[in-house]
Amino acid sequence: MICENATKLASDALDRRLSIGETVGLKLHLIGCGACSGFVRQINVMRTVTRRYVATDATDPNET
Ligand SMILES: [Zn+2]
């Protein structure tokens, strides 16, 4: 797998469930590619922050 495909799959994983083949291919690529590992770490942090923000927004109706 090339980096372009790996980063695309990592982004797709936020929106849809990857197939077994895609997951395995991505993981194998990440083991040997520091750049993509860093990218995945970044988007996972972004996703966590987004979820936390949405959760905070939903539980704080006084904040307009
Ligand atoms: Zn890569």
Q: Is residue 1's pLDDT more than 80?
A: yes
Position 46 scores a pLDDT of: 83
pTM for the complete prediction?
0.71
Question: What is the distance between the alpha carbons of residues 25 and 12, in angstroms, rounded to a whole number?
Answer: 14
Q: Report, as an integer, the average pLDDT of 17-22.
A: 96
Question: What is the pLDDT confidence band of residue 47, given thresholds at 50, 70 and 90?
Answer: confident
Question: What is the pLDDT confidence band of residue 57, given thresholds at 50, 70 and 90?
Answer: low
Q: Which amino acid, one-letter code, is at 50?
A: T
Instruction: Calculate how far, in angstroms, residue 21's C-alpha sits from the geometric centre of ligand 1.
Output: 17
Instruction: Calculate how far, in angstroms, residue 47's C-alpha sits from the geometric centre of ligand 1.
Output: 20
H-helix segments, 1-64? 3-15, 20-32, 34-58
Q: Find out whether 23 and 30 touch, Cβ atoms under 8 Å.
A: no
Residues whose beta carbons lie less than 5 angstroms from ion ligand 1? 3, 6, 33, 36
Q: Is residue 26's pLDDT more than 80?
A: yes
